[in-house]
Amino acid sequence: MSEPRRDIHPLLNDRLDWNLLRTFRVIGQELSISRAAARLHLTQPAISQALKRLEEQLDCQLIARRGPRFVLTEAGEQIFAIAGEMYGQVSQMSNALQKPGDEVIGKVRLLMISRINSDLFDEFLADFHREHPRVDLEVEVMRSSDIVAALLEKTATLGLSLNRRPQPRLEQHLFLRQRYAFFCGQHHALFGRSGLAEGDLQSENFVSFTSDQIGGMLSPLTIFRDQQGFSGRIVASSSSLEEVRRLVIAGFGLGCLPVHVVAEDVKNGLLWRLPPDEGIADVDIHLLWHREQKMSRAETVFIESLLGRLASAADDAGSPGSSY
């Protein structure tokens, strides 16, 4: 197969299978055949076959393998960008079919990071569904970087995500402030010990988030470890809060976890909170949506209602950004 053509657009004609582009878009987001297969609920051979068919239709190579991993070729990058634009336009077709009337009808697509514990949000969803029963809600759990990418492509209504670097095209509103602290699991040598000081943690191994690096979404946690001179290795990592929690409970090492999310685990004797008593850092979860996206009436009502609920909660609490 030949390498990139000067202009990819003429290749995207009415003979091109949209399902192949949709599959490639997910491959480009995940950079993994297995993860793309899991996300689309397909087998890995089916994903590989779809990629092969798309490359044959376009007569160009879209990915370049680097051992067990791969990257997008120049042509692949162009097709990935075009597929995102097309998906965004297709996803907005329902807006044109919206009929005026008193009853709000439509669909809201919400992207979220895992394990967001918020009584306020749970109550909002119950109230919203009671008031607008004909608004369908699609919720998908994704990594923060994928949420931001999807919103920039206008393929979702809104997202609840970490976002340390504001995006010019995205509206950003503080949704929840989470306090992170150090914990160890029930199988760890420090479990159950009182009177510990920060110095007792310096040589311990850690379980880390894969984004827990300088410039990453959770870099305050890394910066704290570096400032305190912690010398232990990172022995396990995951992009999922649920999996980091699992590894900490299993005794792989110490981990930074949101205090209110794991409060029940501490109560049940699965986790033990470690110093410093005041915790490590605040990590903010933001409500995000594309400022230039044409929203349906259902989407607009959902966003405005949620913003109103957050504003009321902030007024009642006397300060913004509390842990709802």
CATH number, domain with residue 300: 3.40.190.10
What is the predicted pLDDT for the residue at 12?
53
266-285 pLDDT per residue, tens: 999 999 999 999 988 888 89
Both 168 and 21 in one domain: the answer is no
CB proximity list for 189: less than 8 A, separation 6 or greater? none
CB proximity list for 92: less than 8 A, separation 6 or greater? 154, 293, 294
Distance CA 267, CA 42 (A): 39
**Inside any domain, residue 191:** yes
What is the predicted pLDDT for the residue at 115?
81
Query: Does the predicted TM-score (pTM) go above 0.85?
Result: no
Neighbours of 135 (CB within 10 A): 20
**Inside any domain, residue 300:** yes
Which residues span the domain enclosing 18?
Answer: 9-91
Kindly state the tokens that stand for 66: 């680097």
Both 163 and 295 in one domain: the answer is yes
Both 157 and 208 in one domain: the answer is no
110-155 pLDDT per residue, tens: 999 888 888 899 999 999 999 999 999 999 988 888 899 899 988 8
Question: Quick check: 90 pLDDT over 70?
Answer: no
Distance CA 149, CA 78 (A): 15
**Residue 221's pLDDT band (cuts 50, 70, 90):** low
What average pLDDT is seen over the chain? Answer: 83
- Domain at 193, CATH number: 3.40.190.290
**Inside any domain, residue 97:** no
Both 171 and 290 in one domain: the answer is yes
Both 199 and 243 in one domain: the answer is yes
Both 125 and 142 in one domain: the answer is yes
Of 41, 58, 91, which one is at a domain's C-terminal end? Answer: 91
Both 211 and 307 in one domain: the answer is no
Question: Quick check: 2 pLDDT over 50?
Answer: no
Question: Quick check: 287 pLDDT over 90?
Answer: yes
What is the predicted pLDDT for the residue at 322?
45
Both 202 and 274 in one domain: the answer is yes
148-199 pLDDT per residue, tens: 989 998 889 999 998 877 888 999 999 998 899 999 999 999 999 999 998 8
Both 188 and 267 in one domain: the answer is yes
Of 91, 120, 155, which one is at a domain's C-terminal end? Answer: 91
**Inside any domain, residue 323:** no
Q: Greatest CA separation found in the chain?
A: 70
- How many domains are contained in the chain? 3
**Residue 6's pLDDT band (cuts 50, 70, 90):** very low
Both 288 and 278 in one domain: the answer is no
Q: Which residue has the tokens 């996300």?
A: 39
Both 225 and 77 in one domain: the answer is no
Both 15 and 79 in one domain: the answer is yes
